[in-house]
Amino acid sequence: MQYLIDQARVFRARAAAHAVHLGSLAESHKPRAMFVACSDARLVPALITAARPGDLFELRTYGGLIPPYDAEEPTGESRTIEYAVTKLNVSDIIVCGHSHCDVVSAAMQDNLAVSGVAGAEEEAPLTGDLTAAGHWHVLAQLDVLSGYPSVTARLADRSLHLNAWFHELDTGATLQYHPRASAFLPL
Ligand SMILES: [Zn+2]
């Protein structure tokens, strides 16, 4: 914990060294994209994308799970998504899964359909292939996200784009899903 405290204390100096003008951050909030990912500490969106303060609007959850839209019972996650889509008007949402995900792994070991925790209708490919399950898991979250009315509307007028990414913790490579190839390929 002391390491984190020490780093927080010298943050302003580090920001200045990287030419981050903290004062200008108070003037507007226009992130380049929303980034939805697992809370796993080994996955660091800002490190992967070299994002600076103001660049990424993040939603980190258990396994990167996105709850189905429910107008009657909004969740913290759904409020975050609605805010990004309707208030911040982000042009892109990146849903990023990752290798060695404890949540996907646990679901497979328990022989549970990952969809059971994702709330999706389709069954996960329980082939024992963790990578394939991880890829499928990302696409399942994208499906859930597409069901949000605000997202559906903006997809229809093409003002919003959904991106499925998969980051390999051990190699550092990031893949993107290409619908035409039905495959995750290197960015
Ligand atoms: Zn994870």
Q: How far is the CA of 149 from the centre of ligand 1 (A)?
A: 26
Ligand 1 centroid – CA 144 distance (Å) = 17
- Specify the pLDDT at position 109: 75
Q: 44-48: long-range contacts (C-beta < 8 A, 24 or more apart)?
A: 45/96, 48/167, 48/174
Between the CA of 178 and the centroid of ligand 1 the distance, in Å, is: 22
Cα angle 100-47-65, degrees, rounded to a multiple of 5: 45
Long-range Cβ pairs for the range 11-18 (8 Å, 24+): 15/53, 18/52
Q: Tell me, what's the pLDDT at 118?
A: 45
**pLDDT at position 113:** 54
Per-residue confidence band for 29, with pLDDT thresholds at 50, 70 and 90: very high
39 CA to centre of ligand 1 in angstroms: 6
pLDDT tens figures, 90-140: 999 999 999 999 999 888 777 665 544 444 445 555 456 889 999 999 999
pLDDT the model gives residue 85: 98
**CA 46–ligand 1 middle distance (angstroms):** 16
Taking the centre of ligand 1 as the mean of its atom positions, its distance from the CA of residue 40, in whole angstroms, is 5
For the residues 145-155, what does the mean pLDDT come to? 97
- Cα(80) to ligand 1 centroid in Å equals 19
pLDDT in tens, 47-99: 999 999 999 999 999 999 999 999 999 999 999 999 999 999 999 999 999 99
**Spacing, Cα 159 to ligand 1 middle (Å):** 29
CA of 28 to the centre of ligand 1 (A): 31
Best CA proximity match to 43, nearest among 88, 94, 79, 85: 94
CATH 3.40.1050.10 fits 28-186, yes or no: yes
Structural domain boundaries of the chain? 28-186
Q: How remote is the CA of residue 146 from the centroid of ligand 1, in Å?
A: 21
Total number of residues shown for the chain = 187
Measured in Å, residue 26 CA sits from the centre of ligand 1 at 32
Q: How far apart, in Å, are the Cα atoms of 14 and each of 6, 7, 9, 18, 127?
A: 12, 9, 10, 6, 46
**12 CA distance to ligand 1 centroid (A)?**
31
**pLDDT digit string, tens, across residues 1-11:** 999 999 999 99
pLDDT at 148 over 60: yes
Label residue 157 by pLDDT band (50, 70, 90). very high
CA of 52 to the centre of ligand 1 (A): 23
For residue 43, pLDDT over 50 is answered with yes
